[in-house]
Amino acid sequence: MKKFVNDPQQFVPEMLEGLALANPDTLKYVPEYNLIMRADGPDENKVSIVQGSGSGHEPAHVMIVGKGMLDAACPGDVFAAPPFDYVYETTKMLASPKGVLLLVNNYTGDKMVFEMAQEMSSADGVNVKTLFINDDVSVEDSTYTIGRRGVAGNFFVIKAVAAAAERGADLDEVIRIGEKVNSVTRTMGVALTACTPPAKGSPLFELGDDEIEMGVGIHGEPGRRRAKMMPANEIVEELLTPVVKDLPFGDGDRVALMVNGLGGTPISELYLLYGQAHKRLAEQGITVGRSYVGEYCTSLDMAGASITLVKLDDEIEGLLNDPAEIPIRVF
């Protein structure tokens, strides 16, 4: 497998360095902690929003640092939780009189690290809280989780809490909004191929040429079932049905619809999937109020996609409509 890489162990730091060099007016790189933060941060007049996870999911989360989105992101190595000291030091560096909110996708390693960092930084006098994101309906427990996984739906939680923070909301209000958005967000994904971590140099798991993994996790975790390849409309049906039923979404609802590429899927195919999902929702009386098509939360070079629905109301839609300035410029 061919990759643009020098030393695989330096893949993440070199990527972060390039990201900061490409965005010198808006981003700052702190190599000691794998930290990407706003160049003008921290802002003492707002709650600081920080996300951390393993690398390999770009643009999540380092490429969504900027005004109206994250104040900072401190990733670990590919598919690995950031070390405790990265999160602890980042929390202290981003400390604001209005507080710090740590956003964490629900994976056991990340959860343990962030809970410890919250406890230690709180003991140091930082006003910090943690919110866990768990939008994946595919499975209840998985390789790296107890409970549901956090996947592409985290973008909506990030966008909403960051917009609230920019408006001047206090930490309790920001958490309320994050919990609300998380509670009405549902996602399910499918893999057509495995991904290849740079340090491994070979696919993370085996998937036959005619096979797909329904409900795959963003680290290649097993999903609901392994199936034979099928037409796109049937794949959309199998993804969308459990997403709709889980909340449930229903006739008269207004939603945000995201079709997210997992890293190796052409944008043309993502729009094809979006069209199928949009029509299927319309048949159920569900109106799409906001649309998102592209790569938001990937799994390196995995060919595949996920579908996310968010139930909208005036408050959530207003927050999603607020401006944001980030390198990938998708919100």
Token pair listed for 148? 């549901």
Pairing of strands 185-191, 304-311: antiparallel
Write the single-letter amino acid at 26: T
Q: What is the DSSP string of 47-101?
A: -EEEEE--BSSTTTTGGGBSBTSBSEE---SBTSPPPHHHHHHHHHHT--TT-EE
Strand, helix or coil for residue 3: coil
Rounded to an integer, what distance in angstroms lies between the CA atom of residue 237 and that of residue 101?
A: 36
Answer for the pair 62, 73: CB distance below 8 angstroms, yes or no: yes
Out of 61, 159, 186, 219, the active site residue is: 219
Residue 105 has φ and ψ, to the nearest 5°, of -70, 145
Strand, helix or coil for residue 131: strand
Rounded to an integer, what distance in angstroms lies between the CA atom of residue 206 and that of residue 90?
A: 37
219 is catalytic: yes
Token pair listed for 13? 């730091």
List Cβ neighbours of 163 (8 Å cut-off, separation of 6 or more). Answer: 68, 319, 320, 322, 324
CB burial of 221-249 (b: ≥16 within 10 Å; e: otherwise) equals bbbbeebeeeeeeebbebbbeebbeebeb
Out of 38, 46, 57, 180, the active site residue is: 57
The length of the chain, given as a count of residues: 331
Answer for the pair 161, 103: CB distance below 8 angstroms, yes or no: yes
Catalytic positions are 57, 219
